[in-house]
Amino acid sequence: MIKVNKICALIIGGLFLISCNSHKKYSKREEIKVLNDVFIELMGTENYYKPFPNPPYPYSLKLCENKEDSMKYTQWESEFNFLIKEPQVDSLDLVIAFSDTLISPFNYERENILNRIEYLQSYIPDSLDGTAILPLMSFLIDSAKYKLRDNVLAKVLNTGRYELREINQLRREYPRYKNMVGFRFIGDLKLSRIVFNGDRTCAVFYQEHICGGECGTGDIIWVKKHEGKWKIECRINLWVS
């Protein structure tokens, strides 16, 4: 966690200027509290249910070339519609490869964050005032201002049905994540340090979730404290794969 004692921000004609006092305090307890409060909201509960069947080729009944194709499509459509109406809870363990180190956004994410800063209000709902998180986002990308934090895996406990396994250990056990049986792999999850405002009522952090070779997302997560509990206020997408 990073607390900025004095932040002076000025927005002039779309240009964001910031100066920060170098004094800061770390509150490991509050940082872990954020992760525990928002983890299930962050990952969602859609993975609690069995995944939908992949559609066979051809994808449209109109494109079916023979009776066999039509029957396969009809069967898939029936299974798909049933799962939408009656989702089936997946009995397998749901495993996330979790980075035990809270990271700093990499260089290409920092460029994306800077782009969002310049036009922030266009990326968030009109009901939210983005000026509250502008200084925090700028502070987040300056890795010189804070240290990475290790050994967080054992402290993130409120994960619902998700089981966290250390990412490097899982890679050693299953090189290239192949031949994983007995559980369902949800993907890699990396989180950054959490940057708080002065009174610790507002904070931002970076999330990177890789769910497959061509599946992933990177987001800035804006959280606020409501009646003592942290909740996600907004997600600002940086990239999608």
Indicate the residue type of 218. Answer: G
Q: Is 162 exposed, middle or buried (0-12, 13-18, 19+ CB in 10 A)?
A: buried
Helices (H), the chain: 28-43, 67-85, 107-118, 134-140, 167-173
Is residue 77, in this structure, part of any structural domain at all? no
Q: Which domain holds residue 19?
A: 2-48+90-240
Check if the beta carbon of residue 234 is closer than 8 Å to that of residue 128: yes
What is the per-residue pLDDT across 142-172, written as a single tens digit (0 to 9) for each? 866 778 899 999 999 999 999 999 999 999 9
Is residue 191, in this structure, part of any structural domain at all? yes
Is residue 59, in this structure, part of any structural domain at all? no
**How many structural domains is the chain composed of?**
1
Is residue 70, in this structure, part of any structural domain at all? no
Whole-model pTM?
Answer: 0.81
Is residue 110, in this structure, part of any structural domain at all? yes
What is the per-residue pLDDT across 121-138, written as a single tens digit (0 to 9) for each? 899 998 898 888 998 998
Is residue 60, in this structure, part of any structural domain at all? no
Query: What tokens were used for 197?
Result: 């405002």
